[in-house]
A and B are shown apart, each in its own frame.
Chain A
């Protein structure tokens, strides 16, 4: 079974608007860590933002923020004031404390930001 699921295959938005990308995860661990990564057109993958399961406050980094809904096992990525260069594939990922060396990835959401 998929541990991390991203149902949105692709999203298209107009620049300067806000976009939310969905991600749901599955784990039996009480402690886990959730991540979002970005893969640009060149193939480069970079870390964006992290949410620790024991933290109630949503993480925020620059114009990226998270919507962590623990009862729903959901971790949405919100990008505000989108820019053309935000166009990329975004991956959600999870580490469980019971197997903390392994990072499980979702299938990705392709974001296109248009002028």
Chain B
């Protein structure tokens, strides 16, 4: 088995601040994802990456940057935190084999609060 580790678990930022969230996986999966979950809502895709140094924008990419320098890690940067923003950012991974049946494995999430 493997695990996805997200750091930090809790992140408190100031308005306008640049904030970075990190994700590590030891599944050796090709594809990694960042999703945002707002309270009581579904998951919205921010960025994904199908291999090292690849980046693909999701529906919610505006206001975010991402980086995939190694196969095992995928980081997300909030370029300018918005006041009173509260959300959970979820990292996930899956094997890229061209087979759409592969499921996602999720990390525990990073809870962001902006003062």
- Across the interface, which residues of B come within 8 angstroms of A100, CB to CB? 98-100
| A43-B88, A44-B106, A101-B48 known; A91+B42 contact, CB < 8 A | yes
Q: How far is the CA of A52 from the CA of B44 in the complex (A)?
A: 22
Residue of B nearest to A45 (CB): B106
Q: Is the CB of B96 within 8 A of A50?
A: no
Q: Is the CB of A101 within 8 A of B31?
A: yes
Q: Is the CB of B42 within 8 A of A106?
A: yes
Q: Is the CB of A107 within 8 A of B106?
A: no
Q: Does A81 contact B (CB under 8 A)?
A: no
> What's the minimum C-beta distance from B66 to chain A, rounded to whole angstroms?
14
Q: How far is the CA of A100 from the CA of B58 in the complex (A)?
A: 13
Q: How far is the CA of A81 from the CA of B12 in the complex (A)?
A: 42
Q: Does A25 contact B (CB under 8 A)?
A: no
Q: Does B50 contact A (CB under 8 A)?
A: yes
- Across the interface, which residues of B come within 8 angstroms of A105, CB to CB? 35, 42-44
> What's the minimum C-beta distance from B103 to chain A, rounded to whole angstroms?
4
Q: Is the CB of B88 within 8 A of A97?
A: no
Q: Is the CB of B42 within 8 A of A101?
A: no
Q: Is the CB of A107 within 8 A of B104?
A: no
Other-chain contact of B43, A42, A47, A91, A96 (Cβ < 8 Å): A91
Most B CB within 10 A of own CB, among A6, A52, A101: A101
Other-chain contact of A102, B42, B48, B109 (Cβ < 8 Å): B48
Q: Does B87 contact A (CB under 8 A)?
A: no
Residue of A nearest to B99 (CB): A100
Identify the 6 closest CB pairs spanning chains A and B, nearest first: A107-B42, A100-B100, A45-B106, A47-B103, A105-B43, A95-B100
Q: List 24 A-B contacts (CB under 8 A).
A: A6-B42, A32-B100, A33-B100, A33-B101, A35-B103, A42-B108, A43-B109, A46-B106, A47-B104, A50-B101, A52-B101, A96-B100, A100-B98, A100-B99, A101-B48, A101-B50, A101-B56, A101-B96, A103-B104, A105-B42, A105-B44, A106-B42, A107-B42, A108-B42
